Amino acid sequence: MKRPIKKNVRAWAGSILLLLFFLVTAGTADAEVFAAAASLQPVMEKIAQEFEKEKGIRMDAVFASSGQLAKQIEMGAPYDLFLSADERWARYLEEKGKLEKVRPVAECPLVLWRDSAEAPSLDLVKDKKIRLAIADPEVAPYGALAREYLEKIGEYEDLDKDERLIIAGDVLKAGLAAKSGGADAAYIPLSIAKKLEGSWTKVPMPPQRLFGGIVKDRDALAALVFYDYLFSPRAADLFRKAGFEPVQD
């Protein structure tokens, strides 16, 4: 049974991911890079494709938990645009002097997902035989929201004590844990639930608002154009199809 990741293991994994990305981007220096929360992967891949078709500009991408990406940017990772699953990590980098033009981009609800034809009941958590997966609350905003919900309904402590809580690195990994049988269900954003198919039920918590910003001192014109494109009618349509609601303020 997978248990919560210890801090030193998180730091080691983050350093390895950063090193690997430096090696990968060394061979793709002709394209600017956006770093986005895992919850955004399905829609951002489509938006980047549409952007390249319309503008003739290719954007490379890296996806991980918001906290991991924020720490990598703080350490100097060669990312030009950052898209976080919450405001916290975007403001963290802004306060560190690493991010500018911070604003909300879209919002997406948390759902309980299961690989079945029938939508799961929210009471599923009370079944002592059920294992539930969430993203790591320390670095993944949707994991933190899932933990907040489970604490609110008084189930988090029992899940943890009974070793029925599966902690994954990000929301996609949490969903895949449930899809592969490593867990019975997962609390994940609607965007990932749609990607994995199966069925889901919305969790009665406010939707998570995702924020973006331009990484400072990168001289990345293409990233600025791409960032503006995220607020275009075409991008808004793709966001809605993927389970998001665009934010225009």
Token pair, residue 243, equals: 């389970």
Query: Whole-angstrom distance between the N-terminal and C-terminal Cα of the chain?
Result: 43
User: Mean pLDDT over all residues of the chain?
Assistant: 90
pLDDT for residue 48 is more than 50: yes
CA–CA separation, 232 and 114 (whole Å): 33
> Please, are residues 142 and 171 in contact by the beta-carbon 8 Å criterion?
yes
pLDDT for residue 34 is more than 60: yes
In this predicted model, what pLDDT tens digit does every residue of 134-193 receive, in sequence order?
A: 999 999 999 999 999 999 999 999 999 999 999 999 999 999 999 999 999 999 999 999
pLDDT of residue 196: 95
The average pLDDT across 42-55 equals 97
φ, ψ at 139 (rounded to 5°): -125, -15
Could you give the residue range(s) of every CATH 3.40.190.10 domain in the chain? 7-108+208-246, 110-202
pLDDT for residue 2 is more than 70: no
pLDDT of residue 25: 45
In this predicted model, what pLDDT tens digit does every residue of 49-92 receive, in sequence order?
A: 999 999 999 999 999 999 999 999 999 999 999 999 999 999 99
CA–CA separation, 129 and 229 (whole Å): 46
Assigned CATH topology for domain 110-202? D-Maltodextrin-Binding Protein; domain 2 (3.40.190)
In this predicted model, what pLDDT tens digit does every residue of 202-232 receive, in sequence order?
A: 999 999 999 999 999 998 999 999 999 999 9
Percentage of the chain exceeding pLDDT 70: 87
Confidence of residue 247 (pLDDT cuts 50, 70, 90): confident
pLDDT of residue 8: 40
Longest dimension (CA), the chain: 53
pLDDT of residue 249: 61
pLDDT of residue 9: 38
CA–CA separation, 67 and 74 (whole Å): 11
Beta bridge partners of 213: 82
Q: What is the pTM of this model?
A: 0.84
pLDDT for residue 21 is more than 80: no
For the structural domain made of 7-108+208-246, what CATH number should be given? 3.40.190.10
Across 6-21, b (16+ Cβ under 10 Å) vs e yields eeeebeeebeebbeeb
pLDDT of residue 30: 66
Length of the chain: 249
Distance (Å) of CA 52 to CA 28, 86, 235: 16, 26, 12
Of the listed ranges 12-16, 55-59, 127-131, 180-184, the least confidently predicted one is 12-16
pLDDT of residue 12: 42
The average pLDDT across 20-24 equals 46
Q: Three-state secondary structure along the chain?
A: CCCCCCHHHHHHHHHHHHHHHHHHHCCCCCCEEEEEEHHHHHHHHHHHHHHHHHHCCCEEEEEECHHHHHHHHHCCCCCCEEEECCHHHHHHHHHCCCEEEEEEEEEECEEEEECCCCCCCHHHHHCCCCCEEEECCCCCHHHHHHHHHHHHCCCHHHHHHCCCEEEECCHHHHHHHHHHCCCCEEEEEHHHHHHHCCEEEECCCCCEEEEEEEECCCCCHHHHHHHHHCCCHHHHHHHHHCCCEECCC
